[in-house]
Amino acid sequence: KKVSLHAKPGETIALVGPTGAGKTTIVNVLTRFYDIQSGRITIDGKDIRNVKKDDLRRKLGIVLQDVYLFSGTVMENIKYGNLEATDEECIAAAKLANADGFIRRLPKGYQTELSERAGNLSQGQRQLLSISRAIIANPAILILDEATSSVDTRTEVQIQEALLNLMEGRTAFVIAHRLSTIRNADKVLVIKDGEIIERGNHEELLEKKGFYFNLYMSQFKGTNDDIEFEYIKPVERVEPTKPAMGMMGRRGGMPGMGGGMGGGMKPSPDQMMERMKEMAETFKEKGAVSPETAMTSEELGLPPMFERMQMNMGKSSAFIEHNGKYYLSKKKLRQR
């Protein structure tokens, strides 16, 4: 509805807003998946309706959350971004995309055969290949759609670095629900019900304390559909009143479980719950609980194993330590 925006060469434009607000629609008209009924879209002053779709799309690089790879070798999938590229150029692109490391660990490296839709790769690995393909295509304009979701924290860092390499010197449109990924955007466009209701950079929009501010704070506080944690103020480490049982038989146990020798013994769910309740009560007694803010498991960087353990615990409270801070979950943990 009367959407107007201007992107300078090399700028990063972030499109944020609730689901169904119209972010993807903007992408669809930019790529001419369908044409607009009024107004016009120009690239370097040329109306895109006067440009052949093939020529237009050669200028665009798209990295989506759902990556489409075909049955063939890793090299063939990367080279699909530019069929004239040499193997050396594809390898260089994979290195920029932080994909070279995992590719070389595959059975046949770049000549490893992928199954249909690359089912033999993880979600994060597929996204890194998609970024490699976009780099080798060398587009002038990038469209990034939730390219860092559904991956573990370590892989997300690799993807973020790869995207920075990809975006350097290019005009980029970033679509994201996770606002932390677009803090450094040159412009942020807040979209609601098909309209741009706010615009500015991240800091300017936070100062306005409008829709973007509320959206950002709700996400930062973990009020989405992921696991929710209430923040506990950092306090000095409290030694447990009795030795904690190590998990999975490993020395040290999981973060926040207090450590222990392990010794091959796996505690029962009841034992884990009792230990976590005891530690939570210890912190309550010391006045550490403060439900002023909250963070999601993604923001905390929890390992997937610990997330699954949390999910299995249902409604019970759970305590963890992360980077010297302590966190307590009081709400029912909802499985993804």
Q: What is residue 121's three-state secondary structure?
A: coil
Cβ atoms of 326 and 315 within 8 Å: the answer is: no
- Report the pLDDT value the prediction gives residue 267, as an integer from 0 to 100: 57
- Per-residue pLDDT averaged across 113-117, rounded? 84
Residue 194 located in a structural domain: yes
Residue 241 located in a structural domain: no
Say if residue 216's pLDDT is above 60: yes
Please check whether residues 204 and 285 belong to one and the same domain.
no
Cβ atoms of 232 and 289 within 8 Å: the answer is: yes
Say if residue 109's pLDDT is above 90: yes
Residue 256 located in a structural domain: no
Say if residue 91's pLDDT is above 90: yes
Q: Report d(CA 215, CA 225) in Å as an integer.
A: 14
CATH number of 137's domain: 3.40.50.300
- Report the pLDDT value the prediction gives residue 230, as an integer from 0 to 100: 34
Domain that holds residue 65: 12-220
Residue 263 located in a structural domain: no
Per-residue pLDDT tens for 291-306?
333 344 444 444 443 4
Of 200, 220, 240, the domain-final residue: 220
Please check whether residues 151 and 62 belong to one and the same domain.
yes
Question: For every residue of 231-299, which 3-state class applies, written as one string?
Answer: EECCCCCCCCCCCCCCCCCCCCCCCCCCCCCCCCCCCCHHHHHHHHHHHHHHHHHCCCEEEEEEEEHHH
Please check whether residues 182 and 283 belong to one and the same domain.
no
- Per-residue pLDDT averaged across 52-59, rounded? 89
> What are the phi and psi torsion angles at 26 (to 5°)?
-60, -40
Please check whether residues 211 and 275 belong to one and the same domain.
no
Please check whether residues 181 and 39 belong to one and the same domain.
yes
Q: Which residues does 100 contact at the CB level (< 8 Å), separation at least 6? A: 91, 94
Q: H/E element holding 289? A: strand 289-296
Residue 76 located in a structural domain: yes
Q: How far is CA 212 from CA 4, 14, 17, 204, in A?
A: 18, 12, 8, 10
Q: How far is CA 38 from CA 2, 4, 30, 191, in A?
A: 9, 12, 14, 19
116: left (phi over 0), alpha (psi -120 to 50) or beta: beta
Please check whether residues 167 and 55 belong to one and the same domain.
yes
Per-residue pLDDT tens for 123-167?
889 989 999 999 999 999 999 886 545 667 777 778 888 888 888
Please check whether residues 196 and 304 belong to one and the same domain.
no
Our measurement of the distance from residue 55's CA atom to the centroid of its chain's CA atoms, rounded to an integer in Å, reads 31
Measured distance between the N- and C-terminal CA atoms of the chain, rounded to whole angstroms: 33
Please check whether residues 162 and 275 belong to one and the same domain.
no
Residue 230 located in a structural domain: no
Mean pLDDT check: name the lowest of 35-44, 134-143, 288-297, 316-325.
288-297
Please check whether residues 36 and 160 belong to one and the same domain.
yes
Residue that wins the pLDDT comparison between 64 and 189: 189
Model pTM score? 0.61
Q: Hey, what are 163's tokens?
A: 């995207």
Please check whether residues 36 and 159 belong to one and the same domain.
yes
Say if residue 101's pLDDT is above 90: yes
Of 202, 220, 238, the domain-final residue: 220
Residue 247 located in a structural domain: no
Q: What is residue 181's three-state secondary structure?
A: helix
Say if residue 187's pLDDT is above 80: yes
Cβ atoms of 270 and 285 within 8 Å: the answer is: no
Per-residue pLDDT tens for 257-292?
333 333 445 556 566 556 555 655 554 454 443 333
Q: What's the domain count of the chain?
A: 2
Q: Which residues does 163 contact at the CB level (< 8 Å), separation at least 6? A: 63, 131, 144, 147, 148
Residue 62 located in a structural domain: yes
Mean pLDDT check: name the lowest of 84-88, 210-214, 232-236.
232-236
Please check whether residues 78 and 153 belong to one and the same domain.
yes
